Every structure is written in C-alpha cells, then in structure tokens.
C-alpha cells in the first residue's frame, strides 16, 4: 500500500484551535501540560502516580467485565507500578460506526507499542474508554455499509450501554451481508456495553486493547469525593467557564458549555441532569425526582453508580481511575480538553498529553489506478469540486481558455479611445467607460462558453474525476466520517492489518492510503 501525506492545514477540514494546538502556538501553551512529543513521556510518567489500591479497584472491575470472554488481554499487568495506559474513547456506535473510530483504536494500539520500544522498562496498555453512559442514542443508532444506511429503532431510553442489543435481530434481517461476528456480539449479550466489548475484543484483543466500562459502582466510589464537591461547591463549571472565556478572547470557537452541576442522575431508562434549586434542594430535570441535600449525599455514598459525569467531569473521572499518560482524540475532542486544564489543576490531577488520532483516506485499487491515470495529487483531491474541475480542465486543455493577451491589447486601445474622447468632450467619459464595461462582460461570457465547450470535450476525464471525488468524499465530507470499516474489510480481510501497519501515531498529517 502506497501512503502519501498531506498537512492537515491543507485539507480545509479542521478548526483553527485544533490546527494551532498541533502547530504549538505559544498563546495556547497555558491550556495544556505537555505536547505529545516522544521525549516528553518520561516526565509525564514521573508525574503520574496511581496508588496500589486504585490499581486493584481498576483490575477487579475489568476482571468482572471480561468474565465470560474466552480470550482476554492480560489485565494483571495494570497492577504493576511501572504500567501506564494510553487511552481513547468513543460512543458505542453500532457495528463500530464510522471509520475514524477504528482509526482511534489503531492509533492507541500503535502508540502503546512505540512507547514500549522507546521505554522498555515500562509497560503501556492501550485502553478504549467505552462511553456506555452516553444517552444520545441518535448518534450511535446507524451505520453506513456499501452506500446504504442501516438504523436501529428502539423505545429504550437512558444510558446506551445498558440497552438490550438483541433488538438488532430485526436489523440483521435487512442487511444483505452476513456479519457473523456482530450477530454473535449483539444477539448473544444482554447489554450493548457487553456486545461492544465482545466484538472489539475479537478485532483487537490480541493487540492488547482493553475495553473499560466506567459505569461501575466500585470505580465511581473512587471518584465520589469529586462528585460530592461538584454537588456542593459547583467548582468545575466556573473553572471551565474561565478557560472558555480565555480561549474565546484569543478568537477561538469553543466546543463545550459547562453547567453549574456537571453530573447526571443515572438509573435504568434514565439519564438526566441534576440541578440545584434556590431552596438548596436538588432536582432531576424532566422528572419529578427531588432530593434534599442530605438525601442526595447519602445516595452518593450508597450508590455512586447513580451519578454520571458529563463532558466536563468525564475526563477527570478517566484520569482519576486510570494510570493514564495521554488521551488520543479527534478534531473536536482535543479542543474541548483545552477548556479543562483548570479543573485538573484544582483537583491536583496530572493533565494528560493530548494526541490527535491518525487521519486517513483509504483508496481501493481501482480508484488508485484512476487517480494515477488522472495525475491527481493529494492536495488536488482535497480541493472543492468546482476548483478541482476547473484546474483539471486548465491542465488538460490544448487550447487557451482565457483572452488575457487579447484583453491587454484591447484595453490599451480602449484607454487611447478614452483619452481622445476626453480631449474632444469630457462628458463622453461615462459613455466610453460604459462601453468598456459592456465589452469586459461580453469577454467574460465568451470565456464561460469556451470553458463549458472544453468541459464537454473533456467529458470522459471529468466524469472519472468526479467519480473519484465522490467515492473518497461521500456527501462532500471525509470518507472516515461516513464509511464503515466493513465496506473495505468484507472485500479484504487484511484491511485492518494494513491500516495498522501504515499508521504512525506521531505523524499528525492526513494520510492517503492507495492500494497497489
């Protein structure tokens, strides 16, 4: 597979905040701890210490979660003080969702391997933080395969990780392809969290990837003191608001909006925000559930699993229970982490390094041959369709499609006419300029007609060009944000291995992967 690279700034697909972070812009330096350069990891390891009791709680939780799986990663290694994690996270999109989720996992696995080579005296475990508590079902309930979107319809509510996936049996009847692994995962497990762990373990367990479900009472008990503080003092929201204002003053658009209380109440079929009332009591929004302060704190002590951190506190929860060094995220995640450093500083928790996942566009063999035949570069492929088409016509035409030389000659003559007219009668200036304008418009119309004619002459090449563009950029967006890995994996079982072999987690560029 031939890999070509393009700086992310040249793709036109990423926000200024994300790009400036990768460029190490000095004004952003206060918003993170260390940039993910390979040499920086030793200092991060020295700063990140996790006591033995927390490691034991983590391993016990993972052991419970992996119970029943025939093969599993080595979880005991997490008990060792020289073991650290590198983590990515995402929602539980059905059938793995868009390609970029797979790319996040591969980046994380590869990073753990490279760190082991660089620091052989330490162990590095890649972790997939499953967003089991997320309740935005509409974001995970569909996937695209061979150009067709398949959607899971359900009346279930609340945290998606607790949903019963066996309803997907109906969906399997609508999918022409036989997807044995996913049938086993979805129809053989009682919760969506267990299903996702099952198929991710089948795909990447041999690479050491560990799937963590943080919807766990023992893990949340470790985090309970911070949740208690958020309920009583509402500290995090103000800290994030301050950082958000600072970023916006620098001209950046921010991603997340903090709440006064950054916790949800979590129960079966329910995940709703907790708000404090003027009288000091608490309510669960969109419900009739109310608590006095003593009642809510007692519930936290007895059932910490009924409290679910939102986007402001979830990263802190992650870094509290994991011996983690780095978070691997996408172009929306890295920016919102930059809003959070004040929270980490307040709770005296090391802020992890923020690393972008690998970005890639996969080009099948037939399409790669077309790209070679058309003579397209990576830069050209990422141009908008109109610019790409115009440039292609200009490059391949045998004719001059502009009247540049003629215009220069005629404009010189028109200037002379204007000069003579002004000598005879100054009031003729407007008439001459009007005729000059009409002439310029006529020339522009002729150029458009000539271009359209040349476009018809090059119809075959243009159709091939647009076919390539539409295949690699479905609906005008990046392939990795739409296509599912099965689109390529079902035709080539080596697809995941090829992508893993081509990814370098420290290469922060767009990668064009052309099959040969």
Q: How confident is the model at residue 402 (pLDDT cuts 50, 70, 90)?
A: low
* Alpha carbon separation from 480 to 102, 106, 145, 284, 352 (Å, rounded): 9, 13, 13, 37, 26
The tens digit of pLDDT for each residue in 54-78 reads 999 999 999 999 998 989 999 999 9
d(CA 397, CA 512): 27
324-353 tens-digit pLDDT: 999 999 999 999 999 999 999 999 999 999
Q: How far is residue 370's CA from residue 22's CA, in Å, rounded to a whole number? A: 33
Comparing 461 with 336, the larger pLDDT belongs to 336
Strands 307-309 and 263-267, by their bridges, are: antiparallel
The confidence band for 401, taking pLDDT boundaries of 50, 70 and 90, is: very low
What rounded mean pLDDT belongs to the chain?
92
Percent with pLDDT over 90 in the chain: 80
Distance CA 199, CA 233 (A): 41
Residue (of 404, 438, 240) closest to 336 by Cα position: 240
In a 13 Å sphere around the CA of 509, the CA atoms on its Cβ side amount to 14
- Whole-angstrom Cα distance, residue 480 to residue 482? 6
The residue-averaged pLDDT of 366-381 equals 91
pLDDT value at residue 367:
94
From 215, 217, 213, select the one nearest 302 (Cα to Cα): 217
C-alpha closest to that of 344 among 15, 26, 34: 34
Please state, in angstroms and as integers, the Cα–Cα distance from residue 467 to each residue in 32, 129, 473, following that order.
Answer: 42, 37, 10
**pLDDT > 70? residue 166:** yes
**Which pLDDT does position 403 carry in this prediction?**
60
Over residues 465-475, the pLDDT tens digits come to: 889 999 999 98
Write the pLDDT tens digit of every residue in 406-451.
Answer: 667 777 767 777 777 788 778 877 886 777 778 777 767 766 776 6
Residue 294 confidence (pLDDT) above 80: yes
DSSP β-bridge partners for residue 87: 127, 327
H-helix or E-strand containing 329? strand 324-329
DSSP 146-162: TTEEEE------S-GGG
């Amino acid at each position: 597979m031939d890999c070509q690279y393009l700086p992310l700034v040249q793709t036109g697909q990423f926000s200024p905040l994300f790009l400036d972070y990768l460029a190490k812009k000095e004004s952003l330096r206060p918003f993170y701890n260390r940039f993910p350069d390979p040499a920086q990891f030793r200092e991060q390891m020295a700063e990140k210490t996790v006591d033995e009791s927390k490691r034991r709680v983590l391993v016990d939780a993972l052991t419970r979660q992996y119970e029943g799986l025939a093969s599993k990663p080595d979880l005991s290694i997490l008990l060792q003080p020289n073991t650290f994690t590198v983590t990515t996270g995402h929602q539980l999109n059905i059938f793995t969702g868009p390609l970029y989720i797979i790319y996040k996992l591969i980046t994380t696995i590869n990073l753990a391997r490279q760190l082991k080579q660089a620091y052989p005296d330490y162990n590095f475990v890649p972790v997939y933080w499953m967003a089991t508590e997320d309740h935005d079902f509409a974001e995970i309930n569909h996937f695209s395969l061979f150009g067709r979107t398949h959607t899971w319809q359900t009346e279930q509510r609340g945290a998606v990780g607790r949903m019963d996936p066996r309803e997907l049996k109906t969906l399997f009847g609508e999918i022409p392809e036989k997807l044995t692994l996913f049938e086993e995962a979805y129809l053989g497990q009682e919760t969506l969290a267990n299903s996702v762990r099952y198929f991710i373990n089948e795909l990447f367990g041999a690479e050491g990837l560990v799937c963590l479900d943080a919807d766990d009472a023992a893990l949340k008990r470790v985090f309970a003191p911070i949740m208690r503080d958020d309920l009583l003092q509402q500290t995090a929201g103000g800290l994030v608001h301050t950082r958000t204002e600072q970023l916006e003053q620098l001209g950046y658009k921010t991603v997340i909006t903090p709440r006064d209380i950054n916790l949800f109440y979590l129960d079966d079929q329910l995940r709703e925000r907790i708000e404090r009332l003027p009288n000091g009591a608490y309510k669960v929004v969109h419900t009739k559930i109310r608590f006095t302060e003593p009642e809510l704190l007692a519930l936290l002590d007895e059932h910490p699993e009924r409290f679910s951190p939102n986007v402001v506190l979830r990263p802190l929860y992650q870094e509290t229970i994991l011996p983690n060094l780095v978070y691997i995220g996408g172009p929306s995640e890295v920016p919102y982490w930059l809003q959070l450093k004040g929270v980490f500083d307040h709770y005296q928790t090391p802020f992890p390094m923020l690393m972008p996942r690998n970005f890639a566009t996969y080009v099948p063999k037939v399409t790669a041959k077309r790209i070679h035949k058309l003579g397209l570069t990576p830069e050209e492929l990422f141009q908008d369709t109109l610019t790409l088409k115009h440039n292609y016509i200009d490059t391949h035409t045998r004719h001059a499609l502009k009247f540049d030389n003629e215009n220069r000659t005629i404009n010189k003559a028109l200037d002379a006419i204007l000069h003579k007219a002004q000598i005879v009668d100054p009031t003729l200036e407007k008439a001459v300029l009007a005729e000059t304008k009409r002439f310029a418009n006529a020339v522009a119309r002729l150029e458009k007609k000539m271009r359209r004619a040349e476009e018809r002459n090059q119809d075959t090449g243009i159709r091939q060009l647009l076919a390539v563009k539409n295949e690699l950029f479905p609906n005008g967006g990046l392939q990795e944000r739409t296509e599912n890995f099965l689109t390529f994996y079902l035709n080539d079982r080596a697809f995941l291995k090829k992508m893993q072999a081509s990814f370098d987690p420290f290469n922060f560029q767009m990668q064009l992967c052309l099959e040969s």
